[in-house]
Amino acid sequence: MTTLEKTVTIEETALSRLDQENRLFNAVLKGPTKKPGRFGFRGDIALKFQAQVADEKRPPDYSIEGVLTVVQAGEPTISILVGYIHSFAYLPEVAQVLSGLLTPTGTYFIFCNNIDLLAKYRVVVDGITFFVLPCDESTVWKEMTDLLSIDKNDIKKLDTAGKLDYVLDAAIGFKETYPTITVEEGIARMGPVKNRNENRPV
């Protein structure tokens, strides 16, 4: 007699609070992955909400975009998370919104639009280390597979959940010794924030 594997739900994971706060948006994946007890999320995490008028639903002012994360049922923290922010100056808000959900032993990558394209930093915020890397005219997914030297042929037959498991398992424990800078140093070095809507029709 076989025992059916219980399907993990978001309520059992460290993403539960963010879900209750309505911060999880634009999900490409929001469900169990191929690993037992593991739940995956690909989408955006709202950092700052717009003021709402009556019942009107407005998109967030800004978010951690292109998020890649997997969490284990019953564990209170997120051990791996990857995402993109439009300005390095949002990094303290990332730490604030995710406060209590990250761990000093976790692996966290934040790609950023307005830092030097050759820059790679380690930034510690409230005891949590973030690898901060440049990203311009690309995607978090492509940048991560390039960073980890993952051949797309190795994952092309996998589904969305399987690909997420594969890439994040490769990223866990990433140990590059990039220069460590403070948030203040990063803000002093960052460039202007580009307006992604300037060439779009209104």
Amino acid identity at 199: N
Each residue of 39-89: pLDDT tens digit? 999 999 999 998 877 777 788 999 999 999 999 999 999 999 999 999 999
pLDDT tens by residue, 166-194: 999 999 989 889 999 999 999 999 998 87
Residue 5's pLDDT is 58
* HEC readout, the chain: CCCCCCCCCHHHCCCHHHHHCCCEEEEEEEEECCCCCEEEEEEEEEEECCCCCCCCCCCCCEEEEEEEEEEECCCCCEEEEEEEECCHHHHHHHHHHCCCCEEEEEEEEEEECCCCCCCCEEEEECCEEEEEEECCCCCHHHHHHHHCCCCHHHHCCCCHHHHHHHHHHHHCCCCCCCCEECHHHHHHHCCCCCCCCCCCCC
Q: What is the pLDDT of residues 121-169, one digit of tens each?
A: 999 999 999 999 999 889 999 999 999 999 989 999 999 999 999 999 9
* Residue 22 confidence class, pLDDT cut points 50, 70, 90: very high
Q: Which residues pair with 138 in a beta bridge?
A: none
Predicted local distance difference test score (pLDDT) of residue 53: 75
Q: What are 111's two structure tokens?
A: 């790609």
Please provide the average confidence, as pLDDT, over all residues in the chain: 91
How many other β-carbons are positioned within 10 Å of the β-carbon of residue 139?
A: 13
Which pLDDT score, from 0 to 100, does residue 51 have?
A: 81
Encoded tokens for 178: 């990039």
Crossing angle (nearest 10°) for helices 140-147 and 160-171: 50
Q: How confident is the model at residue 3 (pLDDT cuts 50, 70, 90)?
A: very low
Q: Identify the residue with better confidence: 103 or 58.
A: 103
Distance of CA 46 to the CA centre of its chain: 11
pLDDT band of 4, cuts 50, 70, 90: very low
CA distance 15 to 41: 9
